């Protein structure tokens, strides 16, 4: 009898699996980066040019891995460039052009973001309580719309700062108002990624609660402190370190917060609540672990970058400033959580309660230090 042999066909390499659309997307990003470098390179230092050049392959890979990023980038490009065209180089156009005044100026776009996040939270909860796929679907679409308006507001605010003056212009991540917007964007994007990755929208009601809380604070802070006004950077923040330290930090804050809200869902299900309305405990545990792992990685990078920045700005890598001390506490908390997870197999309610408590520690490091303590990091007092 003839033996049947099975021929092994290796999977094509990563680049061979890419479609024509993937390559067109990547080429468009490279072309846009080269255009920006040619048009605005004279206003950039070497660091900014390097970031611009590296942004093209970075976002190309991100778009290959997660397809919705392509549409997001394309839409943000159209909206931001439309706002720039409407301004025509004059900041006073914000109150004269209809689309700027009610839609595309930074303040208008961020207000739209705030309203859409509140509505998304409402519809996610309608979906959970009524077991309504329509409610979940509307909530997800509203969340995406909020992300679009939030990033549009940040991009336009960046341009507006330069319209005020070349010495005022800066990336909008320098004060509490701006970083709260950044926090909302990062937390929402990571949630939307996990929503698609695990094919479930049942975590939306929980994650959107922490985003809505941040939006509520943002609106209060805007009204009570007139925080939406663009201010020049204080001398210590006039550094390229800020442009990488702050985003890395807030990826940590955002994913830690997401993990905590997933942990709340885990605790509810493990105690017999919402049993048929939440994903399995295994899925909840996996999302919680992956969110903390990602957050810890970026928070570690941010801490190292912060030490390098401190050495340049203040002459020492570490000064036990309250913000630094609490950042270390946050880092140690999640380092211990991951150690217990990987070395001791930490699972279940103990891990979930630990993640929830971690949110309290993170919140104090993020906001409480600004409220109750003072130190070298005094750039966003209440």
Per-residue confidence (pLDDT) for residue 2, from 0 to 100: 46
- Say how far apart CA 172 and CA 182 lie, in whole Å: 9
Q: How confident is the model at residue 1 (pLDDT cuts 50, 70, 90)?
A: very low
Does residue 233 lie in a domain region?
no
For residue 200, give the 3-state DSSP assignment: coil
- Say how far apart CA 249 and CA 261 lie, in whole Å: 19
Residue at which a domain ends, from 65, 89, 104: 65
Instruction: Determine which helix (DSSP H) or strand (DSSP E) holds 271, and give its type and residue range.
Output: none
pLDDT in tens, 26-83: 999 999 989 888 877 776 777 778 878 888 899 999 999 999 999 999 999 999 999 9
Per-residue confidence (pLDDT) for residue 125, from 0 to 100: 97
Does residue 232 lie in a domain region?
no
Q: Is 31 exposed, middle or buried (CB count within 10 Å of its CB: 0-12, 13-18, 19+)?
A: exposed
Does residue 29 lie in a domain region?
yes
Residue at which a domain ends, from 5, 31, 65: 65
pLDDT at 379 over 60: no
Does residue 100 lie in a domain region?
no
- CA-based torsion, 309, 312, 318, 321: positive or negative: negative
Does residue 260 lie in a domain region?
yes
Does residue 217 lie in a domain region?
no
pLDDT in tens, 112-128: 999 999 999 999 999 99
Residue at which a domain ends, from 65, 82, 99: 65
- Say how far apart CA 135 and CA 188 lie, in whole Å: 18
- Say how far apart CA 229 and CA 146 lie, in whole Å: 21
Is pTM beyond 0.85 here? Answer: yes
Buried b (16+ CB within 10 A) or exposed e, 269-297: bbeeeeeebbbebebbbbbbbbbbbbbbe
Q: What angle do CA 342, 344, 345 make, to 5 degrees?
A: 65
How many domains does the chain divide into? 2
Q: Identify which has the larger pLDDT, 259 or 377.
A: 259
Per-residue confidence (pLDDT) for residue 374, from 0 to 100: 59
For residue 15, give the 3-state DSSP assignment: helix
Instruction: Compute the CA torsion angle 14, 18, 23, 24 (nearest 10 deg).
Output: -160
Per-residue confidence (pLDDT) for residue 109, from 0 to 100: 97
Per-residue confidence (pLDDT) for residue 77, from 0 to 100: 93
CA 112 from centre of chain: 17
- All residues at 6 or more sequence positions from 83 whose CB lies less than 8 Å from its CB, including other chains: 99, 100, 104, 105, 152, 155, 156, 159
Contact present, 218 and 114 (Cβ < 8 Å): yes
Does residue 264 lie in a domain region?
yes
Q: Identify which has the larger pLDDT, 171 or 119.
A: 119
Buried b (16+ CB within 10 A) or exposed e, 95-112: eebeebeebbbbbbbbbb
Taking Cα atoms as reference points, which of 291, 319, 178, 147 lies closest to residue 242? 178
Structural domain containing residue 320: 240-382
22 secondary structure, DSSP code: H
pLDDT in tens, 210-243: 999 999 999 999 998 888 898 888 877 778 888 8
Does residue 352 lie in a domain region?
yes
Taking Cα atoms as reference points, which of 304, 296, 291 lies closest to residue 331? 296
Q: Identify which has the larger pLDDT, 373 or 88.
A: 88
């Amino acid at each position: 009898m003839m033996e049947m042999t099975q021929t092994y066909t290796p999977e094509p390499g990563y680049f061979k699996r890419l479609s024509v659309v993937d390559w067109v997307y990547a080429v468009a990003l490279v072309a846009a980066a080269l255009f920006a470098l040619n048009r605005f390179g004279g206003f950039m230092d070497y660091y900014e040019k390097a970031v611009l050049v590296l942004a093209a392959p970075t976002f190309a890979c991100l778009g290959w891995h997660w397809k919705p990023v392509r549409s997001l980038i394309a839409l943000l490009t159209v909206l931001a460039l439309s706002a720039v065209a409407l301004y025509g180089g004059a900041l006073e156009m914000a109150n004269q052009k209809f689309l700027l005044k009610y839609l595309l100026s930074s303040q208008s776009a961020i207000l739209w973001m705030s309203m859409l996040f509140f509505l998304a939270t409402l519809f996610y909860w309608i979906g959970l309580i009524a077991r309504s796929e329509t409610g979940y679907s509307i909530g997800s679409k509203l969340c995406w719309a909020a992300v679009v308006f939030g990033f549009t507001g940040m991009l336009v605010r960046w341009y507006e700062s330069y319209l005020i003056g070349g010495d005022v212009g800066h990336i909008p991540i320098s004060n509490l108002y701006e970083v709260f917007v950044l926090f909302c964007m990062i937390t929402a994007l990571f949630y939307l990624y996990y929503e698609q990755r695990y094919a479930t929208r049942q975590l939306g009601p929980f994650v959107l609660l922490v985003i809505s809380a941040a939006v509520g604070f943002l609106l209060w802070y805007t009204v009570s402190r007139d925080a939406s006004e663009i201010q020049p950077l204080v001398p210590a923040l006039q550094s390229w370190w800020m442009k990488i330290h702050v985003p890395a930090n807030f990826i940590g804050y955002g994913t830690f917060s997401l993990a905590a809200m997933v942990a709340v869902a885990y605790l509810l299900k493990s105690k017999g609540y919402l049993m048929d309305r939440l994903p399995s405990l295994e899925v909840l545990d996996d999302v919680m672990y992956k969110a903390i792992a990602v957050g810890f990685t970026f928070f570690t990078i941010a801490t190292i970058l912060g030490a390098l920045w401190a050495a340049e700005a203040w002459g020492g890598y570490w000064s036990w400033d309250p913000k630094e001390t609490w950042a270390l506490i946050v880092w140690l908390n999640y380092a211990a959580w991951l150690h217990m997870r990987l070395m001791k197999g930490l699972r279940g309610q103990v891990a979930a309660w630990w993640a929830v408590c971690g949110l309290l520690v993170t919140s104090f490091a993020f906001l409480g230090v600004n409220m109750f303590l003072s130190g070298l990091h005094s750039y966003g007092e209440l």
